[in-house]
Structure 1
């Protein structure tokens, strides 16, 4: 479709300015929440909206490999928290000196603090042995499941709901605890709940663990060897 004069590069399919601003706000203000959860329960209506957003993620071959396990049982949450404790102790051994001290000061989960825990799984057999688009890369089902997680995360930010991804868990131990079928693997263990605040910048950045890399350092043109120089308005590594 040809571009109409005066549209500043937009077509009639583009969202309005206010709608675009809302999308980008959700992206830039999304946070991995660990310490700011409130005890307020999530309504079934809000949770269903978030799960619906997740279920509308794109997936290779339209395989939709995800399932969602909602956890609100305190005893089960404590069992998962114990798995986290074991895995976190192993992870802490990788760091020593000041780095090790900082690692041990970081709060990296909100399993017991958040009213809802959500496990997003991937059924690696869904769609049968030959899924359209998966022949060259067998892990496209896992990548697709991650897109469902991102959909949920952005929708949650729009709803004022915090999400924290607990990645420090032994996948096999978690699968046994949740009695997952052999073909199903846990991809994301998420903590969901309303929060006291969304931090102005990622917590790991604020506490000095890592900084956001400048976008300009990550752009290549027609292969790896040639850098692509962005325009002056490009994000060069903001604190958002």
Structure 2
């Protein structure tokens, strides 16, 4: 193996520390900017993400217009109110959560699923699902790159896609999947914010990893018989 593709024990440790320190951020320092070189490095990391069939189904729109930022923020607020109403007894608890940082973050990147380009490789049976999975891989790269740059990134998906799509003038077949908030933060949450706020506890890994078959699934004939 080429030595440049081997990582030392220290580099391996740094990577796992980075993964553990990644957070979905909502609290940003207002008035801050992201340096152009930093933004380019983060975008390049996203660009290098894997995608099924090398389809690269994602597009990013950098929101520079203040009026458009306000309109997008209004769309999120409408859905925040609708979500609260749908939560019933947890409505007040939900309304106390900070679910977006659109007003204070330095950059907003609108995340868009591009119109289907007809890629079949790896997608014949799961066409839509593999496109979405590829978008998720790209955002994870952005998240890790932002974190190693000591910047926060938050994925806001609380909006009506058609309304945001109209604001962004998306073509037919494209869909808005998120508003990515990027910028400086005073501190990074020591644990996921929803856990710190008492909203939800993450499930332990050993409850999410199985061997061969789904536990308590339907009885089936043994494999090969």
Q: Would you call these one fold, judging by a TM-score over 0.5?
A: yes
Shift in Å, 1:13:
5.8
**61, 73, 95: which is aligned to 2:65?**
73
Shift in Å, 1:206:
0.5
Contact 1:39 1:193 in 2 (8 A): no
Q: State yes or no: 1:141 paired with 2:104.
A: no
Aligned to 2:199: 209
CA distance in 2, matches of 1:121, 1:52: 17
Aligned to 1:20: 12
Aligned to 1:218: 208
CA distance in 2, matches of 1:14, 1:223: 35
Select the structure with the greater relative contact order (CA < 8 A; seq sep ≥ 6): 2
Residue by residue over 1:133-173, the C-alpha shift from the partner in whole angstroms, topping out at 9 and shown as x without a partner, is 11010121121011101110111100001001111111111
Q: State yes or no: 1:87 paired with 2:76.
A: no
CA distance in 2, matches of 1:116, 1:144: 23
Aligned to 2:103: 112
Provide the TM-score with structure 2 as the length reference.
0.90
Aligned to 2:220: none
Residue by residue over 1:174-196, the C-alpha shift from the partner in whole angstroms, topping out at 9 and shown as x without a partner, is 00000011122122211000111
Contact 1:30 1:154 in 2 (8 A): yes
User: What is the Cα-based RMSD across aligned positions, in Å?
Assistant: 1.8
CA 1:65/1:130 → structure 2, altered by over 3 Å: closer, same or farther?
closer
Q: State yes or no: 1:55 paired with 2:47.
A: yes
Structure with greater proportional helix content:
2
Aligned to 2:188: 198
CA distance in 1, matches of 2:126, 2:72: 31
CA distance in 1, matches of 2:168, 2:29: 24
Residue by residue over 1:29-57, the C-alpha shift from the partner in whole angstroms, topping out at 9 and shown as x without a partner, is 11111124342100111111111110111
Contact 1:63 1:131 in 2 (8 A): no
Residue by residue over 1:178-230, the C-alpha shift from the partner in whole angstroms, topping out at 9 and shown as x without a partner, is 0011122122211000111001111110110001111111121111127xxxx
Aligned to 2:121: 132
Provide the TM-score with structure 1 as the length reference.
0.84
* Runs of 4+ more than 3 Å apart: none
Aligned to 1:7: none
**Which structure 1 residue ranges, 5 or more long, are not aligned?**
2-11, 227-240
Contact 1:38 1:196 in 2 (8 A): no
